[in-house]
Amino acid sequence: MTPPERIVEAVEREWMSDGSRRDLTALARSVGHPAYLVGGALRDLLLGREVADWDLAGHRMIALARRFSTENELRLVMLHEDPATARVVLRPGDPAGFVDFVELRAPTIVADLMQRDFSINALAWDVRGANRLLDPTGGIEDLRASLIRAPRREALVTDPLRALRALRFAAELGFSLECRTAGWVVELAPRLQDIAGERVGVEMTKLFAAPRCAYAIDTAEEIGALDRLIPPLAMMRGVEQGGYHHLDVLGHSLLVLREVECAINEPEAFLPRSAETVRTWLEEERNRAALRMAALLHDIGKPQCRTMKDGRIRFIGHADASVEVFLGLARRWALPSDIRRAVVRMLRLHMRPLELANSALHAEEENGDNPRSAITLRAIRRLMRDAEPAAIGLLLLAVADRSACRGPASKAAQRRQLYEVFDDMLVRYVAWLREQRERPRLVDGATLMNRLGIEEGPLVGELLDAIAEAWADREIETEDEALELARRLLRDLNG
């Protein structure tokens, strides 16, 4: 963190590094009333992190925003009415190319800061060139101590979503929760049920996309808040699994989350040949969030499916049961449809990569076959097609699921052998996709409808998928062969 004597200098240098922000400072000086840079921007500047949100607070801020946008021919958008908030877009298309202008929620800036959620967000600096930061709650010391602290219980009571935000900041920053704040998080977590689902979903997405999500989830478990935040997880505690598992269902799921985070942070350690492909997929925040959600929840349906037969514990149908539990959470959290779709695919299919790879390894043991050649390209394509848009996530989940099994009894050589099979599967699938993009299509939907006399609808898509499958396997090579295949399929459908 920036040394104390250079804090203001560092903040001012970064703020003034942008020409539009310099113009805004000049305007604030000319109108003669304070405009305070507040909250996350100062926190991130002091931590040496890239600033994503520039927020200015003060009185008469909407008037200042309107004048600034008009004089500089910039776009202004009203975001909220309470508190009144306007956004001025400095650079369209730049995620950090805007400034938000927010009316104070109290008579003074200090009173406003005292109402904020955590001390590390209760900082302010007047962009007109103040020589000190306002820090009424000790936020700078908490930044030095890597601590998340709510100055007052009322700060969380007024908005219980802040209990979840405390863990989200732990996930983003790797900070610890101050003891009293942790107690308030446990106390107020059940009140998330009273919060609009959209707000909860935004925080959950940020939490699961954050680089230290597993640490934050472990923290929630340690302080007794996890069941209150995600109630269905309570059913997993104490459910023994037997077989390859050395932990109960909840313990295993928490470990899978930690393992999947390792794969996210260092994919080359698990899938070295596919690492760049994996990194590209993980660049999207929602992909990272969906993968971590799937890791934590992949076995959440096991408690209701547990049976015992001949002394062996079974969980028949637990993948589909996990999907149903997740969909209940997804509705409650109002998760975006793309995250729902990705998590559902991973939960429903999370056993298939392991089954496919294990069958190949078994073939090697029995017949001396290369486990990579024992898996056909068709089998890989079908698995990955069924898993889209989360096919890469599914393989990472399988890596983590296998890593979390057996505990001390797990052999590194066996894990490595399995990872090599997964890596090869992804390499072959990506190569096939590239080849398909370079090959011309045999037929399109319009051709099928015209030549076969069928109407637009799902049937056309099914026929195109069948043609693509046969073409990929070199079973057909020409348009005439593709049309003949479609005719045969239609005859079979019509009896």
Give the chain's mean pLDDT: 90
pLDDT of residue 495: 61
pLDDT of residue 492: 82
Quote the percentage of the chain above a pLDDT of 90.
Answer: 64
Whether 349 and 394 have beta carbons less than 8 Å apart is answered as yes
pLDDT one-digit tens code per residue, 458-481: 888 888 878 887 877 778 888 888
pLDDT of residue 359: 82
Quote the percentage of the chain above a pLDDT of 70.
Answer: 95
pLDDT of residue 300: 95
Q: Is the pLDDT of residue 62 over 80?
A: yes
pLDDT of residue 459: 86
Q: Is the pLDDT of residue 372 over 70?
A: no
Confidence of residue 407 (pLDDT cuts 50, 70, 90): low
Q: Is the pLDDT of residue 485 over 80?
A: yes
Q: Is the pLDDT of residue 395 over 70?
A: yes
Instruction: Lowest mean pLDDT of 179-188, 200-209, 318-327, 404-413, name the range.
Output: 404-413
Confidence of residue 383 (pLDDT cuts 50, 70, 90): very high
Q: Is the pLDDT of residue 433 over 90?
A: no
Query: Who has greater pLDDT, 455 or 111?
Result: 111
Confidence of residue 309 (pLDDT cuts 50, 70, 90): confident
pLDDT of residue 426: 94
pLDDT of residue 489: 87
**Where in the chain are the domains?**
4-145, 230-438, 445-494
Confidence of residue 378 (pLDDT cuts 50, 70, 90): confident
pLDDT of residue 444: 86
Give the amino acid at 100.
D
Q: Is the pLDDT of residue 141 over 80?
A: yes
Domain covering 4-145, topology: Beta Polymerase; domain 2 (3.30.460)
Mean pLDDT, rounded, for 124-153:
94
Mean pLDDT, rounded, for 157-172:
96
Query: Who has greater pLDDT, 77 or 432?
Result: 77
Q: Is the pLDDT of residue 2 over 60?
A: no
pTM of the full predicted structure? 0.87
pLDDT of residue 229: 95
- Tell me the CA distances in angstroms from 311 to 160, 189, 239, 307, 314, one per residue in order: 46, 39, 15, 10, 10
pLDDT of residue 264: 96
Output the CA angle 171-193-152, nearest 5 degrees. Answer: 60
pLDDT one-digit tens code per residue, 226-263: 999 999 999 999 888 766 667 889 999 999 999 999 99
- Tell me the CA distances in angstroms from 259 to 213, 215, 412, one per residue in order: 12, 12, 14
Mean pLDDT, rounded, for 303-313:
81
Q: How far apart are CA 468 and CA 457, in angstroms?
A: 17
Output the CA angle 219-403-381, nearest 5 degrees. Answer: 120
Whether 88 and 35 have beta carbons less than 8 Å apart is answered as no
pLDDT one-digit tens code per residue, 441-463: 788 888 889 888 888 888 888 88
3-class DSSP string for 193-261: HHCCHHHHHHHHHHHHHCCCHHHHHHHHHHHCCHHHHCHHHHHHCCCCCCCCCCCCHHHHHHHHHHHHH
Confidence of residue 362 (pLDDT cuts 50, 70, 90): confident
Q: Long-range pairs for 234-237 at CB < 8 Å and ≥24 separation?
A: 235/300, 235/303, 235/304, 236/299, 236/300, 236/302, 236/303
Q: How far apart are CA 122 and CA 3, in angstroms?
A: 19
Query: Who has greater pLDDT, 323 or 377?
Result: 323
Token duo for residue 378: 């068709």
Mean pLDDT, rounded, for 198-215:
96
